[in-house]
Protein backbone atom coordinates (compact mmCIF):
# COMPACT_ATOMS: atom_id res chain seq x y z
CA UNK A 1 0.00 0.00 0.00
CA UNK A 2 1.29 3.44 -0.90
CA UNK A 3 2.08 5.85 1.96
CA UNK A 4 -0.54 8.57 1.93
CA UNK A 5 0.70 11.04 4.54
CA UNK A 6 3.70 11.68 6.77
CA UNK A 7 3.17 12.53 10.43
CA UNK A 8 5.34 15.31 11.90
CA UNK A 9 5.23 15.74 15.71
CA UNK A 10 7.60 18.07 17.55
CA UNK A 11 7.79 20.73 20.27
CA UNK A 12 8.62 24.29 19.26
CA UNK A 13 9.85 27.19 21.40
CA UNK A 14 10.52 29.54 18.46
CA UNK A 15 8.00 31.37 16.25
CA UNK A 16 7.18 29.67 12.98
CA UNK A 17 4.35 28.23 10.93
CA UNK A 18 2.72 24.96 10.08
CA UNK A 19 3.64 24.76 6.39
CA UNK A 20 1.10 25.15 3.60
CA UNK A 21 -0.35 21.91 2.29
CA UNK A 22 -0.86 20.15 5.62
CA UNK A 23 -3.86 17.82 5.80
CA UNK A 24 -4.58 17.87 9.57
CA UNK A 25 -2.93 19.64 12.49
CA UNK A 26 -3.14 19.64 16.27
CA UNK A 27 -1.50 22.28 18.46
CA UNK A 28 -1.19 22.11 22.27
CA UNK A 29 0.37 24.78 24.45
CA UNK A 30 2.54 22.76 26.85
CA UNK A 31 4.31 25.84 28.23
CA UNK A 32 3.42 28.42 30.86
CA UNK A 33 2.64 31.49 28.71
CA UNK A 34 -0.16 32.35 26.32
CA UNK A 35 0.83 31.70 22.70
CA UNK A 36 -0.77 32.94 19.47
CA UNK A 37 -1.80 30.46 16.79
CA UNK A 38 -3.19 31.93 13.59
CA UNK A 39 -3.68 35.19 15.50
CA UNK A 40 -5.79 33.57 18.25
CA UNK A 41 -4.64 33.21 21.87
CA UNK A 42 -3.87 29.68 23.05
CA UNK A 43 -3.65 29.53 26.85
CA UNK A 44 -1.35 27.11 28.71
CA UNK A 45 -2.68 23.53 28.52
CA UNK A 46 -5.18 24.44 25.79
CA UNK A 47 -5.22 22.66 22.44
CA UNK A 48 -6.84 23.21 19.06
CA UNK A 49 -7.11 21.22 15.87
CA UNK A 50 -7.36 21.95 12.20
CA UNK A 51 -9.35 19.00 10.81
CA UNK A 52 -9.04 17.49 7.35
CA UNK A 53 -11.16 19.52 4.91
CA UNK A 54 -10.61 17.55 1.73
CA UNK A 55 -7.50 19.35 0.50
CA UNK A 56 -4.29 20.88 1.82
CA UNK A 57 -4.59 23.92 4.10
CA UNK A 58 -2.86 27.30 3.94
CA UNK A 59 0.10 27.87 6.28
CA UNK A 60 -0.80 28.60 9.92
CA UNK A 61 1.59 31.00 11.72
CA UNK A 62 2.31 30.77 15.44
CA UNK A 63 4.08 32.99 17.95
CA UNK A 64 5.19 31.14 21.09
CA UNK A 65 5.59 34.28 23.25
CA UNK A 66 7.89 32.49 25.73
CA UNK A 67 5.87 29.25 25.74
CA UNK A 68 6.29 25.85 24.08
CA UNK A 69 3.91 24.36 21.53
CA UNK A 70 3.56 20.67 20.74
CA UNK A 71 2.47 20.47 17.11
CA UNK A 72 1.45 17.41 15.14
CA UNK A 73 0.47 17.63 11.50
CA UNK A 74 0.05 15.40 8.46
CA UNK A 75 1.61 16.38 5.18
For residues 53 and 43, give the distance between their C-alpha atoms in angstroms, rounded to a whole number. 25
Dihedral (CA of 57, 59, 64, 70) sign: positive
Paired strand residues for 40: 37
Question: What's the half-sphere exposure (Cβ side, CA atoms, 13 Å) at 53?
Answer: 9
User: Domains of the chain, with CATH numbers?
Assistant: 7-74 (2.60.120.1030)
3-state secondary structure of 24: strand
- Sequential pLDDT tens for the chain (75 residues): 677 789 999 999 999 999 999 999 999 999 999 999 999 999 999 999 999 998 999 999 999 999 999 999 998
Amino acid sequence: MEILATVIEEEYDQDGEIPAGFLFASVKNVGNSTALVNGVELLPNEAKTYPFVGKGCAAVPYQVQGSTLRIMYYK
